[in-house]
Amino acid sequence: MENGAIRVVSRAFSILVHLAQERRPLGISEIAESVALPKATVYRILDSLVGERAVMNRGGEYELGPVCLMLADAYRSQTGFAEAARPHLRALRDETKETVHLFAYERGEFYYLDKLESPYQVRMHSRIGAKASLFRLSAGRALLARLSPDEMKELPEPLPGEVASEFPEILSRGFAVDDEQNERGLRCVGAAVFDGSGRPLGAVSVSAPVYRFSSEMVDSYGLLVKRTAEAISKSAETLFPRAGGGERLRAERAGKMKERISSGGAPDER
């Protein structure tokens, strides 16, 4: 699954990801150097991506194109989770005036799913869609603490002992705390989110610089985060009706296959 991959495809994505990281228009030579490929190769791949509207060519410089938006829009509506969480995240952000994050958990993977930013100038930075650390972030540890033994086995790396030792406290409080362990000067509280059948969906967190988020405030923000996570779990229950682990859901989906195929595509695209 890693080296069985098609070479051009991974090359194309390494270019896309590089464009995403730089966040500015780049020339071919520059890209070629960064991704360590010959110019001609980069040129051809970029040309193909332009044809797919995944990148745009703006006067010799390249940047990401609107297809990226289309894919993300579909991704969000397909999970549903992010949309359901939005109003709760907004309430949490407005109450704390700090940056709040939504994380998704998927078979051992953990990543930033959504964020709402603090109005202050100094605030935490993050990249939606990027991988997040289950061990280092408060949101990650809050989730880990409530995983079943079966779910633990899916983790790509073994659980460090010092993380596991925090579980009892996390479970009793209902949220996890990160007191500058991940980054000096940054304090976070996080709580886990589950669906109706108890499957872990992800987590929520509030992050702020210590001078705005004192240790005395940990309990109050922690309670807010915990309540928000519970509220999101509640809305998720209606989204993913109680079911036996997902098998039933899969069967339902499969049943819809034929009718959907014959219904035809959208009129506006391609």
Partner DNA sequence: GAAAAAAAATCCATGGAGCGAAACGAAAAT
Partner DNA sequence: ATTTTCGTTTCGCTCCATGGATTTTTTTTC
Rg, Å, the chain Cα set: 21
Give yes or no for residue 104 binding a second copy (CB under 8 A).
Answer: yes
- By C-beta, is 134 or 224 nearer to a second copy? 134
- Name the strand (E) or helix (H) holding 208: strand 200-209
- CA of 239: how far to CAs of 80, 107, 151, 154, 194, in Å? 8, 19, 22, 24, 11
Name beta bridge partners: 209. 186
Separation of alpha carbons 94 and 21, rounded Å: 29
Of the residues 39, 40, 73, 215, which one makes contact with a second copy according to CB under 8 A:
73
Q: How far is the CB of 17 from DNA (least distance, A)?
A: 16
Q: How far is the CB of 46 from DNA (least distance, A)?
A: 7
Separation of alpha carbons 90 and 71, rounded Å: 24
Residue 194 DSSP symbol: E
- CA of 9: how far to CAs of 2, 3, 14, 45, 48, in Å? 12, 12, 9, 9, 11
Supply 216's token pair: 């005395």
**36 binding partner (options DNA, a second copy, none; Cβ < 5 to 8 Å by kind):** none
Residue type, 131: K
Q: How far is the CB of 119 from DNA (least distance, A)?
A: 38
Which of the residues 20 through 49 are near DNA (CB under 7 A)?
27-30, 37-41, 43-45
> What is the three-class DSSP state of 111?
strand
- By C-beta, is 162 or 247 nearer to DNA? 247
For every residue of 47-109, DSSP letters joined together read HHHHHTTSEEEETTEEEE-THHHHHHHHHHHHH-HHHHHHHHHHHHHHHH-SEEEEEEEETTE
Which residue in the block uniquely carries the two structure tokens 């949220």?
Answer: 175
Which of the residues 191 through 250 are near DNA (CB under 7 A)?
250
Q: How far is the CB of 220 from a second copy (least distance, A)?
A: 29
**66 binding partner (options DNA, a second copy, none; Cβ < 5 to 8 Å by kind):** a second copy
- By C-beta, is 64 or 159 nearer to DNA? 64
Which of the residues 157 through 176 are near a second copy (CB under 8 A)?
none
**28 binding partner (options DNA, a second copy, none; Cβ < 5 to 8 Å by kind):** DNA
* Number of residues counted as binding a second copy (CB under 8 A): 79
Which of the residues 31 through 60 are near a second copy (CB under 8 A)?
33-34, 44-45, 47-52, 54, 56, 58-59
Of the residues 35, 68, 116, 210, which one makes contact with a second copy according to CB under 8 A:
68
Interface with DNA by CB under 7 A: which residues?
Answer: 6-9, 11, 27-30, 37-41, 43-45, 57, 60-61, 250-251, 254
